[in-house]
Every structure is written in structure tokens, then in C-alpha cells.
Structure 1
Amino acid sequence: MVPAPTATAPSPHSPYQSPHRLPPGLVHLVFHRGLTVQPHPCCGRLVPPETTAQVHPQLFTRALLSFATAEHGVQVVYGDVQRIELNGTEDCAAGVSFRDGRTLSADAVVLALGPWSGRLPLVSSLFNVSGLKAHSIVLRPQEPNAISPHALFLRYQPTPASETLDPEVYPRPTGEVYICGLSKEAIPPDDPEEIVGEPGSIAMLHEIAATVSNHLKVGAAELVAEQACFLPCTDDGLPVIGEIPGAKGCYVATGHSCWGILNGPATGASLAELIMEGSATTVNLKPFSPARFLRENDSS
């Protein structure tokens, strides 16, 4: 990776003195192809490595699920949910029905379906959830120790006249480097297994990787993955967390965009409190309540 640049104008609140070598942590650089790399002004304020952590989405979610099943007896049931079953007399959650004809009874239902949340009329009749398709590649350099432990938030221009891109680079302690970016609005397929990256976007990420470091060029690094995902987005840009109006015992948690892994634990804890205790104390859920869309619809 590029040598750590020297910061020239640190914030007075920074614990580091100028000039200094940027420590492992968060670095925002401006890349212009063929030109010198310059530190972004925000480099004056960095997160110290002692208080910085990286979350691997797949390892994190699998660890949570394994702990829940092993320690708390949680059972995992796979299926394609077709609709939410409500008690007709009280409009409260009674369970879910699957497309294969199975039903699962429940006294509380949480819809955490990401960009697929809007496929259920109970959600789409209240608010819109759209999908933002984001691309990523994972590389394993032949010399992993040559990659410094900096998370890079970049502005990249393939040519001086082209649109500025905002890729991100995350070296992992496992020796891999995760590079992501190049998002666009798109409709997610019914089957998540059908999600594939667009060739042009994947090729651009490889170009960016090679620009960041010779150790990430084709031939110098093993290709681990070329992939894409869908980020759930709402019209007002805020997550939707809480009980769905008119459907007692039916809750929703979606719309976190790219912050789902970061905010997922607090979302889960708050919903658990809301379901079990009647109110959330971990997070004030009022700004994220799905009831806000009722007010918007009434005012329009």
C-alpha cells in the first residue's frame, strides 16, 4: 500500500503531533490517477488504533447465530415468507406463511428483510424500501505484511474529466484486503443467490486496487471474491425500527443502508427491549418509528 503520508495541518484536538506518520486507523486520501497522493484535511483527526475495530460481516453474523443456537436454544427455520398472518379480530401478529405452504405460529414477528422488506404488503403499504447495489472485491496479496493496517476512504478519478468515485479499502487481519464502492440504484432479484457484480464496476475496483498498491495488482494478489450486495434505503434516509401501526406484535427493522453491520447490534437490543419490556432503553426509537410515515401520509 502507499507509504503513510505526512499530515500537515492536524486538528488541535488530535492526540498526534505534526508532522507525524499516520497511525493505523482511518485515513481519507484523495487519489488523482497519475498525480501525487495528498492527505485529505480530515486526516488531522484520526481514531486511535486502541479504540478501533473492524467487523467482518459474515464472521460476525455467523458468530451471533452460533451463540444464539448454542446458548439460548434458538432454532433456525429456512423458508421464503409469503405473508404475515394476523389475528383477524385484533389485527395482531399470529405468525408467518411460507410459499411452500408451511406456517409458523408466533406472538411476535420481526421483519428484518433488508431491501426485500418492501415485498410484503404490510410494509409497502406504509413506506418504501429501495435497493442500492454496491460492489466489492476481496484480494489476498502474496505479501500480506506489505499492506499497512490503514482503512482508506478515497476519492478517485480514473481521468481528470471523469466522475469522482468514493471507494473504500479495508485490510483485514486475516491477510485479505476488502475493496468496495461503485453503488447504483437497482431492483434486487427475488433470490439473493442471483446477485452478481456488474463487470464494469468490478473492473474499476481492480483498477483502484492496483492504483493503491502494487501488491494488489493482478498477478500479485489472489482473487478471493468478486461480488455485489444490496443496501436497504428509505425515502428519508433513516432506518425504520419499531412496531408496525395497525399490526400489534409485528415489528420491522430495515433501511440502515451501509450502516447495517455497525448499527445492527443496537437495533436488535432495542427491539428485544421493545418486545419484551414494552419500551426500548438502549436507543430512543422514536425518530425511527414506522409511525412517522403515517404522519407524512396524513400531511400530504
Structure 2
Amino acid sequence: MQFLLYLLIYPFIWIISILPFPVLYFLSDCVYFLVYRIFKYRKRVVRGNIALALPHLSEKERTVIEKKFYAHLCDLFLEMIKTLSISKKEIEKRYTFSNMEVYYDLEKREKSIALLCAHYASYEWAVSMNYHIHFKGYGVYKKLANPYFDTLVRQIRSKFKSHLIDSKETIPTMASNFRNKTFSLYGLVSDQSPKLSTTHHWQKFMGIEVPVHTGGEMLAKKYDMNIIFLKTKKLKRGYYEASFEVLSDGNAKDFPNYEITDNFLKLVEQQIYEAPEFYLWTHKRWKHMR
């Protein structure tokens, strides 16, 4: 059944992936009308999240953000599909890095690097960073239930010289590379809500106290990694610019527990306040509060 589903859907994915960008974004506008106006996909969650995180805005201002978010979400979804056929030249034109020298300086320290980022702007196209780095790049992700689509995602990422590792593979991979002194870059999307059973730290995020992921910081301390934050701006439709900010460039163990995580959250907050329409409001980030 899973293979049949894959066979039925894949041709449509491929056709969408080869569309020119102007046609792709016309299609995105059509999808926006269906998703926002007709199906109202997770509208209650989105509206509730924006109201919680941005209470200082009027209802009219929050509605504007809501609509812009759904337009961006549809662009993001189709850009993910476009990744299947996009060329190296095209992705490097559309997703640029403003201060790669900050990252290169960390590579010279001869330590692996933990890259922390959020579900903001185009976190999918950030994988193109692997074209510019010298370390082996790993992306930690949650394995898809359908093995055929999971294989497809892995193939797409390998095109960008990225190696996907399931969350269960993360510690064994880091441990092996640490023992063998194989310096690597690990991309960790760390802004979503963890399971309460695995929660070690609560902190205010957008003014609300919530459980937060601390895995990036703890793994960096355990395997002696430097830590960097990836910030992405959406310049215009289909164009993004990323920049780096160092969170730790010495001994991460010198920081009190959770200080690096808290600093990461503050940086995520900053970019949300700058342009809230590009945050992934469909996730139930505030489902646990105290």
C-alpha cells in the first residue's frame, strides 16, 4: 500500500519540481486559496499561536501576519518539492550566506560544529550550505513513516552533499566521529516542543514558559563541539539570505547548563519579532505551558 501511494504521488511531485519558478509561484497562490480559504488547514492552531506569542498586536495586525504566513507556507512547501530538480547554480543564487568567514573560522579550530536553527524562513534550503563547507555535513531529521518517500528525501539531500541521520542515529554517529577525530557539522532544528517525559529545562519563549530542547547544547558539551546559530532572512519571494552567530567557540562545558540553549532561543525570538510571518506557526509549540 505504501509503495502504491508512492507510485501515485511521485509523478505529480516530479512535474511540480520541473516547473519554472513563475509558474511554481502561480501554483502556490492557488494552493494558498485552497489551504487558507477552503480547507482552513490548522487555522485554529495558527491563530492561537500568534495570539499567544504576539499579544501586543491588534487582531487586525495578527490577521495580516496570519495571511502572510499561509502564503509563505505554500511557497515553502512547493520550494521543498522544487528541490528535487533544482540546480546547484540556481540554489546558490536563491539561498546565499552573508558571512561564511564566521563559519570558516570555526572550522580552523579543528572541532566539530553543532549548527542550531529554527523552523523559520527556508530551513529546507539551508542544506545548500554543504556546497560551501569543508567538514562532512549531517542533518538530523525524523524518519518518514513511508520508506519510499524517506528514501526520496535522503536522495534529494545527498544531492546537496548532506547526510541525513535519524534521531536514533545521532549519538552513535557523533560518538564514532568524535573517537576518530572526524570533524563534522551537525544541523539541528531545535525550536520545537520536546516530549514532557524528556524535558530537562523550561524557559520563556515569546514570553511564555515552555519546555525546550536542550539536546544540541548537551551533545556539543559531550562531544566537544563549537556551536553556531543559523539565522535566515526572506529577502523576497524565492530568495533568502543566511548569516551566522557564534554561540560557543571555546569549551562549551565552561557555560552553565542551559545558558547556550537560552541564548539560542533569544536569537530565534529576535528573528520572529523582525518578521513573524515566516515562522512555522502550524506547529503546536505552546501545547505545554506553565
Interval containing the TM-score (normalised by the shorter chain): under 0.3
Larger radius of gyration: 1
The structure whose RCO (Cα within 8 Å, separation 6+) is larger is 2
Question: Which structure has greater helix proportion?
Answer: 2
Question: Which structure has greater strand proportion?
Answer: 1
Q: What TM-score do the two structures reach when normalised by structure 1?
A: 0.23
Q: What TM-score do the two structures reach when normalised by structure 2?
A: 0.24
